Amino acid sequence: MNVIRSHLKDLDYSVVQQCMHCGLCLPTCPTYDATKLERNSPRGRIALMRAIADGRLEPTKAFADEMYFCLGCLACMTACPAGVNYAELFEHARAEAEQSGTLNSTKRNFIRAFTLRWLFMDLSRLKLAGRALRLYQQLGLQTLVRRSGILKLLPKRLRELEAMTPTVQDRFSSELISPVTPAVGAGKYRVAVLTGCAQDLIFSDVNRDTVEVLARNGCEVVTPPEQACCGSLHAHNGEWELAQQLARKNIERFPPEQFDAIITNAAGCGSHLKHYAHLLEGDPVYGKRAELWDTKVKDINEWLAQIGVQPPPTDGQPPQTVTYHEACHLCHGQKIIAQPRQVLGAVPNLKLVELPESTWCCGSAGIYNLVQPEMANELLERKLKYIKSTNAEVVATGNPGCLLQIINGAKRAGLKLRVVHPVTLLAEAYRNE
């Protein structure tokens, strides 16, 4: 395999050159909107990347910090008339930042090694950690610790992080879903479901709902109990080679030749999963299969809209007012905009109220809310303000990061708000039969 000299220098130069500095991305960039600094804008960041590709700038710590200040929300790609592939530039720029080592510190290196290289490379380890956390929460230890006031001894940042700890579900996906779920009625399609990492621990019910809804819509559903991470976490955080390893693992686990569709219900994963061909370009064994794989990966909303949703019964459905927050990697990353609304529209007695600024990032952005809490909170406040303005009692959104972020925000603000994946509302409507 080729040794990568410099991610940005080795990148096809026309990708870097594609930006013609018109600035139409600026008003759509949440970080630029907050600071009004050119370097915090897509145009400014691309100029920095180009300077490195040209050899006019070294990948300094300031450069690396800038690349990690970017949310990676990809709103700029929707705005860009010139078709700049910012997603690709961004991943290579973060890889460049990692390669330069300017961000190295014992603590950061340890955290990265522990999470990216160990925990998320084998999901049985993640599940183990999840079980430990679940035990801690279910035995009442968390409540005890929180009440004891001992947390006050922690630095503010750690206290905030502790408060964000998600509640681990009673049962993981593999305990809720059988490896093969037959279609209800005549089976028309054979699909596989990716259960994800965070999704599996914290929102395994969304995975169960996904499988149920698929089965109700004529799909035989294959859900292997042992799965691998999709690698988006790695690709977005400068670990290009680990992302490649995980992509190969997934193609092995879900042979794309055997399925009509490979379903994901996490926008962030889907946005990455659809680009394995690019990730494995030139790979003699997996390159061609990755191309087929890319065509098979579908977001659950996208797939349901494509095959047509079986209408649930109209009787006995509770009235509900719902607003829809668009996960960045669904609307910007995958251009899936109408389909989730179609899924929500299929739920009887559901009134959809459009959310102002629905495509503006909520601040979750993968692990952004953990590493850039200030900016993430600013965006969360903004999102909550608009959610409140709709008077909806339910917020639907198609990504675990957004779900968690908005749940935490609502909890902190004392809002009575139900935050769910669109597919959950549809699953409930089927269950109301």
Partner 1 sequence: MAPLRSEQISSVLKLANETKTPIVTRGSGTGLSGGSLPSPDCIVLCTIKMDKILELDRENLTMLVQPGVTTLQVADAASSAGLFYPPDPGSMKISTIGGNVAENSGGLRGLKYGVTRNYVMGMEVVLPGGEVLWTGNKCVKDVAGYSLKDLFIGSEGTLGVITKVLLRLIPKPQAKKTMVASFAQMDRAAEAVSAIIAAQIIPCTLEFLDRMTIHCVEAYAKIGLPLDCEALLLMETDGHPAAVAEEAAEMERICRDKGCLELRVAKDDAEAAKLASARRAAFSALARVSPTTILEDATVPRSELAKMIRFVEAVAKKYNLKIGTFGHMGDGNLHPTFLTDERDKEETHRVEEAFKEIFDEAIRLGGTITGEHGVGLAKKSFLPKFAGDAQMRVMRELRRALDPRAILNPGKMFD
The dihedrals phi and psi of 138, each to the nearest 5 degrees, come to -80, -25
Question: Rule CB under 8 A: is residue 356 a binding residue for partner 1?
Answer: no
Question: Rule CB under 8 A: is residue 180 a binding residue for partner 1?
Answer: no
Applying CB under 8 A, which of residues 4, 24, 57, 371 lies at the interface with partner 1? 24
Question: Rule CB under 8 A: is residue 211 a binding residue for partner 1?
Answer: no
- Give CA separation, 136 vs 143, 146, 241, 342, 398, in Å: 9, 12, 34, 40, 28
CB 68 within 8 A of CB 372: yes
Q: How far is the CB of 357 from partner 1 (least distance, A)?
A: 15
DSSP letters spanning 46-89: HHHHHHHHTTSS---HHHHHHHHHS----HHHHH-TT---HHHH
Site size toward partner 1, by CB under 8 A? 19
Question: Rule CB under 8 A: is residue 20 a binding residue for partner 1?
Answer: yes
Q: How far is the CB of 79 from partner 1 (least distance, A)?
A: 9
Burial tier of 5 (Cβ tally within 10 Å: 0-12, 13-18, 19+): exposed
Q: How far is the CB of 28 from partner 1 (least distance, A)?
A: 9
Question: Rule CB under 8 A: is residue 225 a binding residue for partner 1?
Answer: no
Quote the CA–CA distance of 272 and 168 in Å, as a whole number: 25
Residues 72-101 that bind partner 1 (CB under 8 A): 80-83
The residue (of 21 and 108) whose beta carbon lies closer to partner 1 is 21
Q: How far is the CB of 382 from partner 1 (least distance, A)?
A: 17
Question: Rule CB under 8 A: is residue 38 a binding residue for partner 1?
Answer: yes
Question: Residue 313: helix, strand or coil by DSSP?
Answer: coil
Question: Rule CB under 8 A: is residue 49 a binding residue for partner 1?
Answer: no
Q: How far is the CB of 108 from partner 1 (least distance, A)?
A: 31
Applying CB under 8 A, which of residues 14, 105, 106, 391 lies at the interface with partner 1? 14
**Within its chain, how far is the Cα of 96 from the centroid?**
22
Q: How far is the CB of 344 from partner 1 (least distance, A)?
A: 22
Question: Rule CB under 8 A: is residue 108 a binding residue for partner 1?
Answer: no
CB 291 within 8 A of CB 411: no
Residues 295-354 that bind partner 1 (CB under 8 A): none
**Within its chain, how far is the Cα of 428 from the centroid?**
23
Helices (H), 280-354: 287-296, 300-307, 328-331, 338-345
Name 73's Cβ contacts closer than 8 Å, sequence gap at least 6.
30, 328, 332, 361, 365
The residue (of 19 and 263) whose beta carbon lies closer to partner 1 is 19
- ∠ CA(308), CA(309), CA(311), 5° rounding? 135
Question: Rule CB under 8 A: is residue 36 a binding residue for partner 1?
Answer: yes
Q: How far is the CB of 43 from partner 1 (least distance, A)?
A: 8
Applying CB under 8 A, which of residues 21, 117, 385, 431 lies at the interface with partner 1? 21
Return the C-alpha torsion angle 148, 154, 159, 161, nearest 10: -120
Question: Rule CB under 8 A: is residue 115 a binding residue for partner 1?
Answer: no
Name 309's Cβ contacts closer than 8 Å, sequence gap at least 6.
217, 342, 343, 346, 426
Question: Rule CB under 8 A: is residue 13 a binding residue for partner 1?
Answer: yes
Q: How far is the CB of 81 from partner 1 (least distance, A)?
A: 4
Rg over CA atoms, the chain? 21
Question: Rule CB under 8 A: is residue 185 a binding residue for partner 1?
Answer: no
The residue (of 100 and 334) whose beta carbon lies closer to partner 1 is 334
Question: Rule CB under 8 A: is residue 56 a binding residue for partner 1?
Answer: no
Quote the CA–CA distance of 421 and 263 in Å, as a whole number: 15
Question: Rule CB under 8 A: is residue 110 a binding residue for partner 1?
Answer: no
Question: Rule CB under 8 A: is residue 378 a binding residue for partner 1?
Answer: no
**CA neighbor of 430 nearest in space, from 255, 215, 237, 267:** 215
Question: Which residues sit at the interface with partner 1, rule CB under 8 A?
Answer: 13-14, 17-24, 26-27, 36, 38, 43, 80-83
